[in-house]
Structure 1
Amino acid sequence: MKHLLLAGAVCALVPAGALAADQGGSTPPDSTWDRTYIGAQLGIAGLNSDWTIDDFVFDLDDVSLTDTCLVLGVFAGHDVQMDGFVLGAEADFNFLDCNDSETFISDGEGLTVSASVDAIGSLRGRVGIPVDNLLFYATAGIAVGTATVSYATSDYVVPAGSDAHDLKLGLVAGAGVEAMVTDTVGVRLQGLYYNFGSHTFDAEFGSYKADLSAFALTAGVTWKF
């Protein structure tokens, strides 16, 4: 059901830009990208968390947690056009709710590993090549957010335990294409990959290592001034 809602919502963004063009009259797209802009975006996001688990009860070398969810965000930035290139900086903030967990039972012992991403923001530079009213660009920078990996044990032989680690800093990179619909309104498609690195939990009878990454594929509308 959520994928049907996603498809409808994303597809609605492009007609929104076309409607803005109709309301703006016959104003042709501006050929310059030297602008400040704000915008909103909607799309699909996902997380991937790879775990290596080593203790005397559980010895799991290949555990992967995955989930997909809706993402909704806002962004703002500024571009400078120079000699066939566009250089810029952009900040964004996105709401999402991706999470997954898995429980293992062995010899009466239980282990649950979990990962989640609730919100992500980033500060990125971008460089693009303009082609008429289109801009093809690459972007990279620093990501911050509420991204968590955790484990919990429940057992009868050894003491139960739990721990969580919030991965608030990471790196982000991606690419996109933007089209000017009128002199002030544009639409864009963008894909970003987030890497929050890894964390090792030193448990009482072993260790658990968790990597965490995420992606976001969004369609957006921009307003330039």
Structure 2
Amino acid sequence: MTNTIHHGCPEASSRKMPGTHASRQQNARRPATLRPAGSRFLGGCGLVAMLVMASSGSSLADDFSALAGPAPAAASFDWSRFYVGGSIGRATAAGGGPRDIAYTYRDHNDPYFNRDETIGNDWFFPQGSSSSGPLVGGVQFGYTQQFGKMVIGAEADFNFLNAKRAYSGAAAEDLLPYPETRPDYNYHVREELAAEDTVKWLGTIRGRVGYTPTERLMAYVTGGAAYAKVKGSGGYNYHEYGFWWGGPGDHDFDRSGGMSQSSNKIQWGWTAGAGLEYALTDAISIRGEYLFTDLGRSSHSVSMASEASDETIAWKSKTRLNILKFGVNYRF
């Protein structure tokens, strides 16, 4: 009988030792952990290129901007345009108003009074002078041309208003009964005299010189010619009463009368002032303006004639106005 001798442990024949065929197959299926040398070189070049592009990005952008030219500047506002607009404000009459008032009367039926009898305002006790400051409203049209910060232009406007100055005076006379022991005569009279100047409308033709401290704000001075329609009104009223006894025509009497007339004239003068104008948009601007207007001295006369008598009231006056207006202009 032949005996088979095994060297080593009984399990040695079935244990898979390192380096066996199965182990080599398993290692062959694992992915390689090392790249070839050429692949590593290409990756490094890509990284360097990205760093170079990032560092030179701003300079490339500057180069493209230089080729494209400078960016267009924002459009600035220019006052060089025609404009039309409207305004509203307040006008106050200044100056002395009516003075040197005289009332002249001629009675054609009375031999004694068939001549001019004049009563001056020195006969009357002045009750006072007054003035009114009504609203003023109108339209304006003009053109301005800008030279740097300076603006030069011209404007014409037309305004409706009702600014007036008035004078009124009164007189009273009482003749006591005469003679005192036998009163045969008693006479009383009350008189009123009035004159008034009213500016009905006003127009101006003016130059404008302005300065623009900011792009849309203009401060300006203005001046030129002024013309206006001035209505002159005058009135005289009387009331006399009493009695007459002791002769032909004995009677009591109580009578009243008077006259009231008006006339119109165009007066020329000058005006000057200043203002501020601000452009809200390229087409719309708002402004505030003060004007002093002097229409000069003038003489007025109103009369009323009939077959029985002629009556006339005459006076002198100087017409001045202080005007403050706020307006809106549309430029085109």
TM-score by length of 2: 0.52
Residue aligning to 1:122 = 204
Residue 219 of structure 1 and its aligned partner are, at CA, apart by 0.9
Counterpart for residue 166 of structure 2: 101
Task: Please point out which of 193, 203, 213 is paired with 2:292.
Answer: 193
Q: CA deviation at 1:93?
A: 1.0
Structure 1 unmatched runs, 5+: 1-27
With 46-55 and 108-117 compared, the bigger mean Cα shift is at: 46-55
After TM superposition, list the pairs within 5 Å mapping 1:47-58 onto structure 2.
47-50=93-96, 51-53=98-100, 57-58=120-121
Residue among 187, 194, 213 paired with 1:112 = 194
Deviation by residue 1:116-146 (Cα, 9 ceiling, x = unmatched): 1121111111111112211111111111222
Q: Between Structure 1 and Structure 2, which shows a larger proportion of strand residues?
A: 1
Native 8 Å contact 2:129 2:168 kept in 1: no
Percentage identity across paired residues of the two chains: 28
Name 2:320's counterpart in structure 1. Answer: 213
What's the secondary structure of 1:31's corresponding residue?
Answer: coil
Aligned to 1:37: 83
For residues 140-188 of structure 1, the C-alpha deviation after alignment (integer angstroms, 9 at most, x for no partner) is: 111122223343333479x968664524322111110000111111110
SS class of match (1:170)? strand
Distance 1:36 1:66 in 2: 37
Assess if the C-alpha contact under 8 Å between 1:97 and 1:117 holds in 2: yes
Q: Can you give the 5+ residue segments of structure 2 that lack an aligned partner in the other structure?
A: 1-73, 103-118, 173-189, 241-257, 303-310
Q: Residues 215 and 109 from structure 1, CA distance in 2 versus in 1: closer, same or farther, beyond 3 angstroms?
A: same
The change in CA–CA distance for 1:72 and 1:160 in structure 2 (over 3 A counts) is: closer
Which structure: larger Rg? 2
**Equivalences for 1:123-162 in 2 at 5 Å?**
123-132=205-214, 133-155=216-238
Q: Structure 2 vs 1, CA of residues 189 and 99 (structure 1 numbering), >3 Å: closer, same or farther?
A: same
* Maintained 8 Å contact 1:189/1:220: yes
Q: Which residue of the partner structure matches residue 24 of structure 1?
A: none
Size of the aligned set, in residue pairs, is: 198
CA distance in structure 1 between the partners assigned to 2:259 and 2:208 by the alignment = 47
**One-letter amino acid matched to 1:191:** Y
Deviation, structure 1 residue 69: 0.9
Pick 1 or 2: higher relative contact order, CA cutoff 8 A, min separation 6.
Answer: 1
- Does the C-alpha gap of structure 1 residues 93 and 82 become closer, same or farther in structure 2, counting only changes over 3 Å? same
- 1:210 maps to a residue whose letter is S
The CA distance in 2 between the partners of 1:62 and 1:156, in whole Å, is 18
How far the C-alpha of 1:38 sits from its partner, in A, is: 0.8
How much does 1:63 deviate? 5.9
Task: Name the TM-score, length of structure 1 as normaliser.
Answer: 0.75
Residues 41 and 219 in structure 1, CA contact (< 8 A), matched pair in contact too: yes
Is 1:67 the counterpart of 2:132? The answer is yes
1:94–1:120 CA contact under 8 A, matched in 2: yes
RMSD: 3.0
- Contact (CA 8 Å) 2:126, 2:169: kept in 1 or not? no
For 2:317, give the aligned amino acid. A
Asked if structure 2 preserves the Cα contact closer than 8 Å seen for 1:49 and 1:65, the reply is no
For residues 86-97 of structure 1, the aligned pairs below 5 Å read 86-97=151-162
Q: Matched residues in 2 for 1:156 and 1:29: separation? A: 76
Query: What amino acid is the match of 2:154?
Result: A
| Inter-partner Cα distance in structure 1 for 2:196 and 2:239 | 21
